[in-house]
Amino acid sequence: MTGGRTGREVVAITGASGRIGRRVAPLLDRPGRVLRLVDVDLPDRPEDGPWGALEHLELRPASIEDDDGIRAALDGADAVVHLAALASEAPWADLLRVNIDGTRKVLEAARLGGTRSVVLASSIHAVGFADPADAAGTEVLVPRPDSYYGMTKAAVEALGSVYADRYRMSIVSARICDFEPEPGPGRGLSQWLSPGDAARLFEAGIALDDGRHHIVWGVSANAPDGYDLRAGRAIGFEPRDDAVAFATARDGAPPEAAVRPGPIGGYFADAAHPLGERW
């Protein structure tokens, strides 16, 4: 894949200033590639941001809620990594406006701009009411959202399916689990997604060119082995990091076994956290 207008592959990242984008964008820097960072909150100059060391960088201030702005920002991009979203439970109207309609605007802008591959940030919460045994033994779980937020991520996956089937775009919906620099205890040992593995997942989606929609886990190769990795491996995503190995090296002793009672969505599936309220 090469950018016809620049001579370089152009990879656009929406939500580039967010928690995932800030850490993963530098890991996607490659010779022959331009990283086009899209967000409402960007520095005036590339050297003032966390990506200052990157050689081929474009900053495109734009909101995914603005049709014209996002179309201009994504025009000519070879691939789009769509991370911009409300990342937790929130009022219904806000989630509908940002997560669902914003994703539709991004996909439409990508289509009109000639993009052929898209990675959509879905979430474990799209299937948050699934049991751990189902997550470990089922290649692709059917949606079982644990919240309005999780429902919007299931809708994001459905939008990805529409655009892949209708326009032959190659689209990966990544059900991102617990993205952190380091794994947490308990449930975090099975759900950790390291920055390095997030970058490897995005690279697999960027390289994809089959005109199909794929739903994969965004999770590392963690020793508790709580998630079926077959769908990710089928598109070339081979996670390398392991929460137990990381924690053992960090702490000098193996961590306690992961405790995974109840639905995989954790507290998102708890009735103590009301639907539509910010937590």
pLDDT value of residue 6 = 54
* Rounded distance between C-alpha atoms, residue 167 and residue 27, angstroms: 29
- What is the residue extent of each domain of the chain? 9-262
The dihedral sign for the CA sequence 41, 182, 90, 86 = positive
In this structure, whether the domain defined by 9-262 belongs to CATH 3.40.50.720 is answered with yes
pLDDT digits (tens, 9 = 90+) for 101-125: 999 999 999 999 999 999 999 999 9
In this prediction the pTM is 0.96
What Rg, from alpha-carbon coordinates, does the chain have? Answer: 18
* Rounded distance between C-alpha atoms, residue 78 and residue 101, angstroms: 22
Mean pLDDT of the chain: 94
Q: Which of 153, 148, 177, 185 is nearest to 269 (CA)?
A: 148
**pLDDT of residue 49 exceeding 80:** no
Structure tokens given for 255: 């961590």
Left (φ > 0), alpha (ψ -120 to 50) or beta: where does 134 sit?
alpha
pLDDT value of residue 5 = 53
pLDDT over 70 for what percent of the chain? 97
Q: Which residue has the higher pLDDT, 3 or 266?
A: 266
SS (H, E, C) the chain: CCCCCCCCEEEEEECCCCHHHHHHHHHHCCCCEEEEEEECCCCCCHHHCCCCCCCCEEEEECCCCCHHHHHHHHCCCCEEEECCCCCCCCCHHHHHHHHHHHHHHHHHHHHHCCCCEEEEEEEHHHHCCCCHHHHHHCCCCCCCCCCHHHHHHHHHHHHHHHHHHHHCCEEEEEEECEECCCCCCCCHHHHEECHHHHHHHHHHHHHCCCCCEEEEEECCCCCCCCCCCHHHHHCCCCCCCCHHHHHHHHHCCCCCCCCCCCCCCHHHHCCCCCCCCCC
pLDDT digits (tens, 9 = 90+) for 189-236: 999 999 999 999 999 999 999 999 999 999 999 987 799 999 999 999
**pLDDT of residue 89 exceeding 70:** yes
The answer to whether 13 and 36 have CB atoms below 8 angstroms apart is yes
Report the pLDDT averaged over residues 124-131.
Answer: 97
Q: Is 261 exposed, middle or buried (0-12, 13-18, 19+ CB in 10 A)?
A: exposed
Report the pLDDT averaged over residues 163-183.
Answer: 98
* Rounded distance between C-alpha atoms, residue 194 and residue 192, angstroms: 6
Residue 259 pLDDT grade (very low, low, confident, very high; cuts 50, 70, 90): low
